[in-house]
Structure 1
């Protein structure tokens, strides 16, 4: 970790130029001094400040050879430090697959190395370091950090206080490891059960309820001096196409947009949201040009800036996604995004192409330097509000004192218990007791593990039930069990007192549905846990009990085990409606439904 002398030396110039308040005060940022900083920047430095870029490696200066090779192949530099020196980017985004997030102390060292590399450049500025820490199924920083239930689970809990606690604790832990911006919360209103990219990342289908949760979570992050980012404007909740791989079209009328999609974003703006991320979607009612919202002046400048009155940072979703690359080449996309009103260009697939395209657009007069200055001022305001000019570095002591503490982990467990939703309980079967159902067989889907897991769901549940006094056995059957696998599970079920089966996005012809039916046919009572979409319950009529956890992270699975065992009661309520499987136009379980005992 850098010494105090290193910190003071690296930040002396910019600190003297700015009257930025201490963490305890709320002094306004002085735009005159920020503009003075901008006036001393070269055009190349200004262009760089607009980009937030990925980089491979656990270290800013000494990554593994494989990461050096990946950086050379994709960016043309060896390390994060070289990236900053060459392109003067204003931000870095961390990914697990880029090997940025091995453990808290490594992340803190990487963050300090990135800040040092930027601050020691001529006219050096602190960096925005960001990641997608939504919790639930999207987490880049895993254990031993505290992992919370995801957005739809939080929507099932419905507690504004819990959402604020999530933001506060998650923000404090991110800040301790040097991450000062989070691309969360998701402000989309998910009204399409077939949405392949949002789904449980949304708080739910009720725009007012989503708005409450978004604003509360934003408030929590603000308390921890981490920038929250509401996404994906103008609303990605009613798509059946994943914008990573295609170009979704939203068919909502302008009136419906006002009543549905816009509500959480208005709440985020009212809550003082630090940044808003754009969506790579076509929204003809808002802009009939056929351009994605990310490249739409009517949407970003006309509606977001003009009508919603938002003057904070607008960041694009990743420019490597297919949704923004369908109409235009990678050299045009960043220029058009800036012309539309974006401030930050996130993760272009080819940084040299994107960076030079913006530089050329200014030199040729398509973009003015004054237009760049507008965005850079917003970015520097955010850095100043986050106290990065005075406190760019973090310490090992801060990591140990903050990340994954017993109090934080206990808070996550308590919140998870309030989100677990019981939808079916025939008999009633639940709660189970070791006295009557000692031998538990845990079978089912084991989807790829997000960062909040220590193992497959069947293993995590088996360990949790064992701790609760049951004799539990795990048998993973996968998301598409074969006939032979189902036969093994059925044979094991005949020797059990009860079966707990995890399901993952059950469809009409899914082998998971066949598994549950054949398990139930043994006469052994079956408890189904939908570990992603709660819509599974509509296709599992043979299960005696059904619960929804909205994700398969450890914190949610352990909470479900405690609910099944009666250690706590189920308190979650559906934040989305569940339609009948045989008649999708009819609601089987409405928003707000949930059983108790």
Structure 2
């Protein structure tokens, strides 16, 4: 039997028994329970697994490098073995996650080959269950696999269009491309309601500040991922990460919503996702006193995960933690205790344990000591295996690398993405009617944030006849860079300056330097077009800007839509999906939800 077709007999038996269970359920209807034969086969498989194999299914790991057989010293440091295949053999994990920043992604064909290598390791002699391979392909500002994979504007760009059908189309395209690369799970969509303009970690990753709009878009993307593409969707971050000024990567946020506020603001998207049959939900490392006054983060809270998510909301799928390497979940109890408490709280899978041996053995010890029953472990393993059954992972986890290019980044998908993103650009202010520009030849300076983003926009403008100059200044422009941009602005007919979270001065004053750049450019008296390429809130800090647009993303597809808007090839139709508050006055809208100009 070929290594690319070697799947455990138990998995094949389960897949046969569960052949009636699939993703094609009616809109808004949860998937059916497995037939009795499938449930029995699944139970037998779990009985045959050792405790170590069961606990392995609770882990979602990663490894450094683009090849399962290539040694990397960083893997040895983390896991005690050098290659990704050896990591799989050692822990027999239930899941795997790819990161571009950790050397996993070179191109779609390589990703597909890597996926097959990992699955071969997971289903080799002595291994029982294929992996559920995942990544964070949220689109917009959180993307693990870049071009030639199709890129979109991201969640808040979808919110600006108000078009749920387009959000579903985008998820379907993204999901099919991931599936072609052997990735069966996307840690998306973000279901958080971003009601705090100073939120440093969510922002444009959220669809909107409006709970109903977020719920509608979340459901659309669940349908796109699960029903249209046939991969696992994961709504995050329960119970809602949208109202905080703290980043859970570095500290433990507290959400002080009352129970009524939580039910009104945070809960609707998750309730809608559950009703739509969402397969998986990711926890948030946040404290919500109204749901659990203990001070524990939701990831470690039985009242929140078992009491609210399981019992109150009726979620029957897989609960996965946010990354356990994040500071918010590590600071109270330490790595070993956090893993045990997460499972006691109701978690099924532990994402990115930072000390894998420590956390793996901590869970084993908790079962052997009687602190956690093996029945409790079996419950999670059953959910994980059922999820793999429903999505065809047990029966055939492999893909054909030779066929990847027929699905990933096709002309049809790229055209669909461009048409969707074209609808999202929002014209917030245009008091001097600087846009649209005429087709006359002119010199345009493109400055501000983003090496590739400024170059991408300049290229799009040049294709429309402009003579462009690029002066990229970064997230914290120096005084010399600002002076250079100002001098160049005086030599050009129009300046387009791109800002990226220029509002965020909570950590350092570096974004204040972006504000200075914009103000100094405006002081030249020359025409200046200010564009927020991430959060739309930046204009609160330089409201004197006469022309201001928001793109909600900085990928090339968004810059092409911006250029088309600047030149009047398309009318701006995006509407703000959030309030832009007055600087320092979060309860006062400078530009309200729904605002958007056109011509």
TM class by smaller structure: over 0.9
Q: Secondary structure at the match of 2:554?
A: coil
Question: Shift of the alpha carbon at 1:404?
Answer: 0.6
Q: Is the 8 A contact 1:233 1:277 kept in 2?
A: yes
Which of the numbers 452, 463, 467 marks the counterpart of 1:471? Answer: 467
Within a 5 Å distance, the mapping from 1:213-362 to structure 2 comes to: 213-222=217-226, 223-362=228-367
Which of the numbers 499, 504, 512 marks the counterpart of 1:503? Answer: 499
Corresponding residue number in structure 2 for 1:142: 146
Within a 5 Å distance, the mapping from 1:177-576 to structure 2 comes to: 177-222=181-226, 223-435=228-440, 438-446=442-450, 455-507=451-503, 510-576=512-578
- 1:150-183 per-residue CA deviation (whole Å, 9 max, x = no partner) reads 1111111111011101110000000000010010
Which of the numbers 34, 41, 45 marks the counterpart of 1:37? Answer: 45
Count of matched residue positions in the alignment of Structure 1 and Structure 2 = 581
Counterpart CA distance in 2 for 1:460 and 1:350 is: 40
Q: Is the 8 A contact 2:199 2:245 kept in 1?
A: yes
Corresponding residue number in structure 2 for 1:450: none
Where do 5+ consecutive residues of structure 2 fail to align? Answer: 26-31
Counterpart CA distance in 2 for 1:207 and 1:288 is: 24
Distance verdict in 2 for CA 1:582–1:201, change over 3 Å: closer
Q: Secondary structure at the match of 2:67?
A: coil
Q: Secondary structure at the match of 1:18?
A: helix
Counterpart CA distance in 2 for 1:99 and 1:284 is: 39
Distance verdict in 2 for CA 1:33–1:100, change over 3 Å: same
Question: Shift of the alpha carbon at 1:515?
Answer: 2.2
Distance verdict in 2 for CA 1:43–1:87, change over 3 Å: same
Q: Secondary structure at the match of 1:259?
A: helix
Counterpart CA distance in 2 for 1:134 and 1:505 is: 19
Corresponding residue number in structure 2 for 1:449: none
Counterpart CA distance in 2 for 1:483 and 1:255 is: 48
Q: Which moved more, 1:386-395 or 1:177-186?
A: 386-395
Question: Shift of the alpha carbon at 1:24?
Answer: 9.0
Counterpart CA distance in 1 for 2:242 and 2:490 is: 43
Q: Secondary structure at the match of 1:546?
A: strand
Question: Shift of the alpha carbon at 1:145?
Answer: 0.5
Q: Secondary structure at the match of 1:331?
A: helix
Question: Shift of the alpha carbon at 1:5?
Answer: 4.2
Counterpart CA distance in 2 for 1:356 and 1:517 is: 56
Counterpart CA distance in 1 for 2:334 and 2:431 is: 56
Q: Is the 8 A contact 1:282 1:291 kept in 2?
A: yes
Which of the numbers 153, 169, 175 marks the counterpart of 2:179? Answer: 175
Q: Is the 8 A contact 1:444 1:477 kept in 2?
A: yes
Corresponding residue number in structure 1 for 2:28: none
Runs of 4+ residues deviating >4 angstroms: 22-28
Q: Is the 8 A contact 1:343 1:375 kept in 2?
A: yes
Q: Is the 8 A contact 2:5 2:398 kept in 1?
A: no
User: Is 1:59 aligned to residue 61 of structure 2?
Assistant: no
Q: Is the 8 A contact 1:85 1:121 kept in 2?
A: no
Corresponding residue number in structure 2 for 1:15: 12
Q: Secondary structure at the match of 1:586?
A: strand
Corresponding residue number in structure 2 for 1:452: none
Counterpart CA distance in 2 for 1:212 and 1:583 is: 29
Q: Secondary structure at the match of 2:470?
A: strand
- 1:309-343 per-residue CA deviation (whole Å, 9 max, x = no partner) reads 00000000111111111210111111111110000
Counterpart CA distance in 2 for 1:162 and 1:112 is: 31
Counterpart CA distance in 2 for 1:398 and 1:12 is: 27
Distance verdict in 2 for CA 1:490–1:377, change over 3 Å: same
Counterpart CA distance in 2 for 1:467 and 1:86 is: 53
- 1:258-280 per-residue CA deviation (whole Å, 9 max, x = no partner) reads 00100100011011001000011
Corresponding residue number in structure 2 for 1:451: none
Question: Shift of the alpha carbon at 1:391?
Answer: 2.0
Corresponding residue number in structure 2 for 1:118: 122
Counterpart CA distance in 2 for 1:433 and 1:363 is: 74
Distance verdict in 2 for CA 1:24–1:313, change over 3 Å: closer
Q: Secondary structure at the match of 2:552?
A: coil
Q: Which moved more, 1:326-335 or 1:272-281?
A: 326-335
- 1:264-308 per-residue CA deviation (whole Å, 9 max, x = no partner) reads 000110110010000111111000111110011100000000010
Q: Which moved more, 1:247-256 or 1:543-552?
A: 543-552
Corresponding residue number in structure 1 for 2:587: 585
Counterpart CA distance in 1 for 2:43 and 2:24 is: 22
Q: Secondary structure at the match of 2:515?
A: helix
Distance verdict in 2 for CA 1:177–1:473, change over 3 Å: same
Q: Secondary structure at the match of 1:456?
A: helix
